[in-house]
Amino acid sequence: MKKSEWSDKQLEELLRQMPKIKDHRNPRDIYQNLSLKRRKKPAWILPAIASAAAVLLIVILIPKILVSNQIFMDQADEKSNKKMELLSDKQEKTIEMKKGESSSKALDSSGTEKYGLMRGMNQNTAAYEGDVGNRKVLTYWIPDHQGQILIPVSTIVNRKNNQSWMSLFNEYMVQLKEEKWGLSDFYPMNATLSLNAKGDSVNVDVPKDHPYGQGANETIFVNAIKKDISTNSHVKRIRFSTNRQPGIELGDYGHLEELNAENERQRAFFLFVPRNQDKPFLVPSQDKYNTLKAAFVAMKKDQSEGGLKASILPAIKFKKMLIRKNTLFLTLKEKSMMEDSQNTIYSIEALLLTAKEFGIKSVFILNAPLKRVGNFDLTKEIKVPLAPNLRSTP
């Protein structure tokens, strides 16, 4: 639209020049018309408008309220989850601490490692290198209470100056407690044992009335002498004399002057429980086995002679055996069961002692279900014992 060219003043002057207009209507009619124009609108219109406005407001605000509530709930849930996680972690730590407290391995107040009741009760029965130090291990072969088999019993003794093994052997044989161990009272022998000047043979001198000339006594005496010497020394020859005269009269051997001290090998170790005793001995078999595997298989069964019992628990199952550089790698089957008990210690020591019979110096048990049994760490190789059945003497 084109802008008007008239000014306000010109328009005002123009309106003044226009003719006057007179309204001839009655004032009452004019008032009536104004009243009609000012009449109120129907009463239902305002509530309807208010309701509509409220609905519109709710429609607008509800999503925001829901979003805010959801955010608040999410934050609350997150805080609750974090709290539960903290509680769970605390509970797990508490459980682990309780497990650690109940574990057989613990630290005492001085910070040194000690073993709990179970492990303290589970003791090795053999003599090991760490037990000896500068002392000497002696092994005595003692008959069982019926005189059927010989039981190797070892003791650790102090060595005096350059004292020979023979001197130590004679000194400590009088201190053995055979009857207390459930065995026959056999030592000291009714004989004098001594090394010859060269130290390559042992002289055994008996009195004329010695008790070793007949029956079982004869066999036990000869076998005990042979085992005592071969186990404790490298001497290979035994010389007998009676009242310092060459030779000894024996029923089955006749007149015997010399005997070889054979170092027996390739035997399997079994359990033997003496009468009135709870603690068994590990005893080598009289039979020899061609292979270590054959010996292990035999050790799972009782022996018909001598009252020897199976020494390997049935739950310990072998999968594979491998020998490398005098170390036996013994792999167990997945289903093998093992518990930290004295019976398991007997089985492990029987394995170690039997492995030693075949020239093995250490054994590594692989795939074991436990890391420790008694004092044995099954995660490392275990050295074979120096001697079986360690017992203390006064």
Task: With cut-offs at 50, 70 and 90, classify the pLDDT of residue 216.
Answer: confident
User: Distance of alpha carbon 211 from its chain centroid, rounded?
Assistant: 51
Q: Within a domain: residue 169?
A: yes
Q: Are residues 222 and 304 in the same domain?
A: no
C-beta atoms surrounding 393 within 10 Å:
15
Q: Are residues 141 and 182 in the same domain?
A: yes
Instruction: Return the closest-CA partner of residue 222 out of 189, 244, 200, 183.
Output: 189
Q: Which of 52-56, 197-201, 285-289, 319-323 has the lowest mean pLDDT?
A: 52-56
Angle, CA of 293, 297 and 300, to the nearest 5°: 145
Q: Are residues 177 and 209 in the same domain?
A: yes
Q: Within a domain: residue 27?
A: no
pLDDT of residue 175: 94
Q: Are residues 237 and 313 in the same domain?
A: no
Number of structural domains, the chain? 3
Instruction: Return the closest-CA partner of residue 363 out of 333, 314, 325, 389.
Output: 325
Give the whole-number percent of the chain exceeding pLDDT 70.
69
C-beta atoms surrounding 35 within 10 Å:
9
Summarize pLDDT for 181-192 with one digit per residue, the tens.
999 999 999 999
Q: Within a domain: residue 11?
A: no
Residue 89 has pLDDT above 60, yes or no: no
Q: Within a domain: residue 129?
A: no
- Indicate the pTM of the whole model: 0.70
Region label for 98, one of left (φ > 0), alpha (ψ between -120 and 50) or beta (otherwise): alpha
Residue with tokens 């001497």: 235
Summarize pLDDT for 233-258 with one digit per residue, the tens.
999 999 999 999 999 999 888 899 99
What is the domain extent for residue 97?
Answer: 46-102
Q: Within a domain: residue 19?
A: no
> Position 209: which residue type?
D
Residue 269 has pLDDT above 90, yes or no: yes
Residue 95 has pLDDT above 60, yes or no: no
Q: Are residues 236 and 332 in the same domain?
A: no
Bridge partners, residue 34, by sequence: none
311, 342 contact by CB (below 8 A):
no
Q: Are residues 225 and 283 in the same domain?
A: no
Q: Are residues 95 and 193 in the same domain?
A: no
333 phi, psi to nearest 5 deg:
-70, 160
86 phi, psi to nearest 5 deg:
-65, -40
Residue of 140 and 304 predicted with greater confidence: 140
Summarize pLDDT for 3-41 with one digit per residue, the tens.
555 666 666 676 676 666 665 666 566 555 554 444 444
pLDDT of residue 47: 54
Q: Within a domain: residue 167?
A: yes
- Helix (H) or strand (E) run with residue 363 in it: strand 362-366
Q: Are residues 156 and 237 in the same domain?
A: yes
Q: Within a domain: residue 274?
A: yes
Domain end marker among 217, 241, 260 = 260
Summarize pLDDT for 296-344 with one digit per residue, the tens.
999 999 998 889 999 999 999 999 999 999 999 999 999 889 999 999 9
Q: Are residues 138 and 256 in the same domain?
A: yes
Q: Which of 94-98, 158-162, 326-330 has the lowest mean pLDDT?
A: 94-98
Q: Are residues 157 and 245 in the same domain?
A: yes
Radius of gyration of the chain (CA): 52
Q: Are residues 254 and 273 in the same domain?
A: no
The C-alpha atoms of residue 298 and residue 149 are separated, in whole angstroms, by: 18
pLDDT of residue 5: 59
Task: With cut-offs at 50, 70 and 90, classify the pLDDT of residue 367.
Answer: very high
Instruction: Return the closest-CA partner of residue 232 out of 271, 202, 205, 272.
Output: 202
pLDDT of residue 305: 82
pLDDT of residue 323: 95
Residue 48 has pLDDT above 80, yes or no: no
122, 374 contact by CB (below 8 A):
yes
Mean pLDDT calculated for residue range 153-171: 92
pLDDT of residue 326: 95
Mean pLDDT calculated for residue range 336-358: 96
Task: With cut-offs at 50, 70 and 90, classify the pLDDT of residue 117.
Answer: very low
Summarize pLDDT for 184-214 with one digit per residue, the tens.
999 999 999 999 878 889 999 999 999 898 7
Q: Mean pLDDT in the chain?
A: 80
Task: With cut-offs at 50, 70 and 90, classify the pLDDT of residue 114.
Answer: very low
Helices (H), ranges, the chain: 8-17, 27-37, 45-102, 117-121, 129-132, 165-172, 215-232, 292-298, 342-357
Residue 295 has pLDDT above 60, yes or no: yes
